[in-house]
Amino acid sequence: MARSIALRLDSSKARPVPSNTESTLTRRLLIASALLFLGLFLFLPLMLVFAYAFREGLGIYLSSFITPDALSAIRLSLITAAIAVPLNTLFGVAAAWAIGKFEFKGKSVLITLIDLPFAISPVIAGLIFMLLFGALGWFGPWLMERNISIMFATPGIVIATMFVTVPFVARELIPLMQAQGTEEEQSALTLGASGFQTFRRVTLPNIKWGLIYGIILTNARAMGEFGAVSVVSGHIRGQTNTMPLHIEILYNDYQTTAAFAVASLLAFLAVVTLAVRFTVEWKTARDHEAAAREAGWGDNP
């Protein structure tokens, strides 16, 4: 009797209860439909960008970048990112410090406000700055008198890009800082570190990977923003075209290969962003395991 129970326990351990998992056929069908869905919607378009970019050879590919219009679009995208990314990173770190390390009323309202630009259509983001600085907007006549152009010029593009990329560093850091609590910072302060030293030596190493991913994602979004920028740019060739707008012009001019060549730069940036995310997750998991082993908690379940 006792032996048979032990045997049954053993056999139930060895393989899962059959009714508690799907049949091999169902599994295969589910995996196949997931792969088909992702292949059709993500993998194939991504492959097409590179296939079309290189279809006329490396020479044509490279020559797509050295036209004056392409160079000026790349320069403008880089300038925009160089202003928008550091400012939004500073904002993200400050917001995450306030939200993640302190308790106060209205915290969830503040988080919703930070997410707001993500919920608003990029075209509306462009529209609200047109209403402020456009020729018929609130400050339009005043700016015109003083000969300051914000719309259809670099400042407008930078402001609209900053608006749409506000949330990304903050969204990445807030959950991280909340999860890490304040004990480590408090011990550093007790040991006599200044506030800034504590941030640099204790907080920063803890959030390093999340911060790096946040910055890279913000950069990819800033260089690739299309909707908001196409409202405020005015599409002046060689002056106010960013890389996505340059792609639009080339594509509409039937210069398909050149359009995909420029697009391949942005697609490559997106792939790098995903690779960084992949590495960050792997490193964070590894750090957690190492910390758990040091503390003697054993392996992560």
Segment 86 to 115, residues that bind other proteins, using CB under 8 A: 87, 90-91, 94-95, 97-98, 101-106, 110, 112-115
CB of 7 to other proteins, least distance (A): 19
Rounded to 5 degrees, φ, ψ at 193 are -75, 150
Interface mask toward other proteins for 3-42; x: CB under 8 A: --------------x-xxxxx--xx--xx-xxx-xx-xxx
263 binds other proteins (CB under 8 A): yes
CB of 283 to other proteins, least distance (A): 14
Q: Which of 159, 169, 211, 261 binds other proteins (CB under 8 A)?
A: 159
Q: Which of 78, 132, 212, 292 binds other proteins (CB under 8 A)?
A: 132
Residues between 213 and 232 that touch other proteins (CB under 8 A): 217, 220-221, 223-227, 230-231
Within 10 angstroms of residue 107's Cβ, the number of other Cβ atoms is 14
Within 10 angstroms of residue 12's Cβ, the number of other Cβ atoms is 10
Look at the block and give the residue holding tokens 């593009």.
157
- Residues 68, 65: Cα–Cα separation, whole Å: 8
Residue placing its CB nearer to other proteins in the complex, 10 or 103: 103
Rounded to 5 degrees, φ, ψ at 255 are -90, 65
Q: Is 137 exposed, middle or buried (0-12, 13-18, 19+ CB in 10 A)?
A: middle
Residue placing its CB nearer to other proteins in the complex, 9 or 48: 48
Q: By the 8 A CB rule, do 64 and 56 touch?
A: no
Near other proteins by CB under 8 A, which window of 2-10, 58-66, 159-167, 292-300? 159-167
- Residues 212, 197: Cα–Cα separation, whole Å: 20
Interface mask toward other proteins for 165-204; x: CB under 8 A: -x---------------x--xx--x-----x--xx-----
Q: What is the token pair recorded at 17?
A: 């209860």
- Residues 224, 84: Cα–Cα separation, whole Å: 12
CB of 248 to other proteins, least distance (A): 6
CB of 3 to other proteins, least distance (A): 23
Rg (C-alpha) for the chain, rounded Å, is 26
